[in-house]
Structure 1
Amino acid sequence: MKIAYARVSTDKQELHRQLDALEKVGYDKLIQEKFTGTQKKRAGLDTLFNSVRSGDTVIIESISRLGRKTLDILSTVEELKEQGVEVVSLKENLDTSTPTGQAMFQMMAVIAQLERDLTVQRVNEGLASAKARGVKLGRPTMDKQKVKDALGLYDSGRYSVKDIIRITGISQGSLYRKIKEREYKQLLSDIKDRVKETED
């Protein structure tokens, strides 16, 4: 099944341009939404993931319709592919079912890593500069065992975030950050494995 997905960032924007492009190539089902790409909870994407089945193809007018950050887009495409779903982006002429599309997807992973590395570099340079000026820096070092325990409770699926915070003493921000870091590392590892399999 071909599933078209359209999104705009605000209620004031219209979907006409995207819908026109999608109608030209044709689709079996249309999912549309008006939400900002920075929102974590997006009804349209939830509907999309609940609607797709292995063998389906998701068609979008532009890859930016899946999010504003490269890592978010990469994560969404990877999650769809894990379900056996391919992605076609009309503007970028990207089709993840083709060798060229797969190569472009892998390049996105490299760009996402570069963005993260540059961010870390800028933060480290800022910290070094502040330290040189005698500014006291840093938050208390997180207890590695607490982090491990918190992630274990989270993975069990039997505890709410509020319960995990109360039991372990780890902050909500730290918990979410560690979960995101773990997902990111796993995603990059999976991509590297796929690249290696392709080379072999």
Structure 2
Amino acid sequence: MTQKYGYIRVSSKDQNLWRQIDAMTAQGICEENIFTDKITGGTFVRPGYEALLKIIKKEDILFIHGIDRLGRNYDEIIENWHVINRKIEADIVVLDMPLLDTRVNKNGLTGKFLSDIVLQILSYFAQLEKEKINQRQREGIAAAKKRGVKFGRPKKKIDMKYFQQITSDWRSKKITCEEATEMLDISRAHFYKIVKMYNL
């Protein structure tokens, strides 16, 4: 029996999936058949996508909202499209691009030819957009640094008297390293670094 699946991806954990989920449920896809990832499109090593590949089979239908939701790496988009459509022999429907619907003219040479051309063009622009985003980020960071903006977490001020007291308790085994770092609100690596730096 043919199953409908949906694949949804956003690039970061603070982005929500609801717009894409609504688009999938509108196609009659049940929630347990919707696979999601919150990860960059530059890689296909994704838990949701890998789980999808293990379950999708011949004559099933995979829905994605846009080709850039599948990925943003030109070669890997083409490769994974062919794995699903030609190796597994499942159909793919790109909701925002009706020309990319492998159910249409699936046995016709012209249909396959047109789909391949559209796929290659959209995959190219998906990667191009990713490269533009990365370039804008690099330029923005460089411009901010030029103006004295500092990136990363601010350095935590350490009360050395309190630190020495905690270290003394740790050395005498009154507290564990985990308890010491928790009391100081610093990482284990930072704790050992200060201990070594000041020979405590």
Provide TM-score, normalisation by structure 1: 0.52
How far apart in 1 are the matches of 2:111 and 2:45? 28
Q: Is the 8 A contact 1:74 1:108 kept in 2?
A: no
User: Equivalent residue for 1:52?
Assistant: 56
CA distances 1:42-88 after superposition (whole Å, capped 9, x unpaired): 11111110010111010111111110123221111100011111100
2:88 alignment counterpart: 83
Structure 1 residue 64 corresponds to structure 2 residue 68? yes
Q: The residue matched to 1:72 in structure 2 has which SS?
A: helix
Q: 1:17 to 1:50 in 2, by over 3 A?
A: same
- Partner of 1:5, secondary structure, is strand
Runs of 4 or more consecutive aligned structure 1 residues displaced over 6 Å after TM superposition: 112-115
Shift in Å at residue 114 of structure 1? 8.4
- Percent identical pairs in the alignment equals 30
Structure 1: which amino acid aligns with 2:6? A
Given residue 49 of structure 2, which amino acid in structure 1 is its aligned partner? L
Summarize the alignment of residues 179-198 of structure 1 with structure 2, pairs less than 5 Å apart: none
Deviation of 1:97 after TM superposition, in Å, equals: 2.2
Deviation at 1:10, TM superposition (A): 0.5
Residue 54 of structure 2 aligns to a residue whose secondary structure is helix
User: CA separation in 1, counterparts of 2:75 and 2:14?
Assistant: 27
For residue 40 of structure 1, report the CA deviation from its aligned partner. Answer: 4.2
The equivalent of 2:5 in structure 1 is 3
Shift of 1:21: 1.1
Is 1:96 aligned to 2:102, yes or no? yes
Partner of 1:95: helix, strand, or coil? coil
Matched AA of 1:105: S
Q: CA deviation at 1:96?
A: 1.2
Amino acid at match of 2:113: A
Spell out, residue by residue over 1:149-188, the C-alpha distance to the aligned partner (whole angstroms, 9 max, x if none): xxxxxxxxxxxxxxxxxxxxxxxxxxxxxxxxxxxxxxxx
The 3-state SS of whatever aligns with 1:88 is strand
Please give the root-mean-square deviation of Cα atoms over the aligned residues, in Å: 2.5
Distance 1:5 1:113 in 2: 17
Q: In structure 2, how many angstroms separate the alpha carbons of the residues matched to 1:87 and 1:21?
A: 15
Correspondence 1:30 to 2:38:
no
Counterpart residue number, 2:115: 105
By percentage of residues, which structure has more helix? 1
Aligned pair in 2 of structure 1 residues 69, 104: CA closer, same or farther (>3 Å)? farther
- Counting matched residue pairs gives 115
Q: Distance in 2 between matches of 1:67 and 1:114?
A: 11
User: In the TM superposition, what whole-angstrom CA distance separates every residue of 1:177-200 from its partner, at most 9, and x where no partner exists?
Assistant: xxxxxxxxxxxxxxxxxxxxxxxx
Change (3 A) 1:77 1:40: closer
State the distance in 2 between where 1:3 and 1:110 align.
23
Q: Which runs of 5+ in 2 are unaligned?
A: 126-200
**CA offset at residue 104 of structure 1?**
3.7
Alpha carbons of 1:112 and 1:58: their partners in 2 closer, same or farther (altered >3 Å)?
closer
CA contact (8 A) 2:44 2:76 kept: no
Structure 1: give runs of 5+ residues left out of the alignment: 116-200
1:39 to partner: Cα distance: 2.7
1:111 positional shift = 4.4
